[in-house]
Amino acid sequence: MKRFWGKLDFIHRRLWHRDGLYRFALLLGPATLLGGGLAFALWTGAQVVGQAADHPPPWAPPLRPANVTTSTGPLTVQPAYKLPAPDADKPAVGYETGWQVTLRPVEISPTLDVQVKPTPLLAFAIDTPTVDMVQLTARGPKGALYVGVGSGLLAIRAAGTYALTLGFQRPAGEAANCIIRLGLSTHRIFSNVDVNIVTDLTKMFDRGLFDLQPGLYSVVWMFGCWHDREMTQSGRISLLIGQGSEQKMAPVRPGDILRPASIKP
């Protein structure tokens, strides 16, 4: 045992005279060294986390918002579903023509910022590709503000470049504010609010250009007109489609907007 302690004493004296780090560590003591080591480790970890938050690695890019299309396109979009087989009595097996529609309550600020609530008031279907405010207000609750949110599947039967937008018509009458939006797949085509419409109005909104292949593409719109905290019955939208860079646009054919057959008017 004496021999063991003698060796330790020899090693201690030799390190004490030759190694300053050994003297520094011995003076601090084990507990202090342990605490300092833990603090250093925590500080280093915090630095790494901060760097990771500020500079994500190349394999983890930040999520981007949905793309916004312009008339300069086109954007390539893949179909959501394949074209269904034709049916003798319906436009396609398992599908009906027209839109699925939900009415959603909204809050409208004095600056006309429209906040759409997530909980739907009710759901129904519209057989026609055009949508009239009368169709929405006939089912909507009285004394409430809401918008119609419609969804459908646009059937594209030939590959090419297509332009999409909405046409809007409203006859002269009581002043109204109208919000209208349109999107294809994850791409927003436009979002518009017309204020204090009084005179007869017919307009076409900005177009989105898309390279499309044969298939079914998800189309979503939002539409609502109101005046003095009440919904109005005047106003109509229609989905317009054109090919290539031509400016000519025409209403989509009734058989080219589909919804699942389980959704009844």
DSSP-derived letter for residue 67 is: P
Return the pLDDT at 92. 75
| pLDDT under 50: residue ranges of the chain | 16, 20-66, 70-71
* Cα 17 from Cα 65, distance rounded (Å): 65
Would you state the pLDDT for residue 13? 55
Q: 3-class SS at 38?
A: helix
- What pLDDT score was predicted for residue 91? 67
State the Cα–Cα distance between residues 200 and 177, nearest whole angstrom.
14
* Residue 76, pLDDT score: 95
What are the structural domains, with CATH classification, of the chain? 2-54 (no CATH), 75-260 (2.60.120)
- Give the DSSP letter of residue 68: B
Tokens of 137: 């207000």
Report d(CA 208, CA 238) in Å as an integer: 15
d(CA 117, CA 103) in angstroms, rounded, equals: 10
Q: Is the peptide bond before 91 cis (omega within 30 degrees of 0)?
A: no
Q: How far apart are CA 81 and CA 85, in angstroms?
A: 12
Answering whether pTM is above 0.75, one says no
Q: Which two tokens stand for residue 107?
A: 């809050």
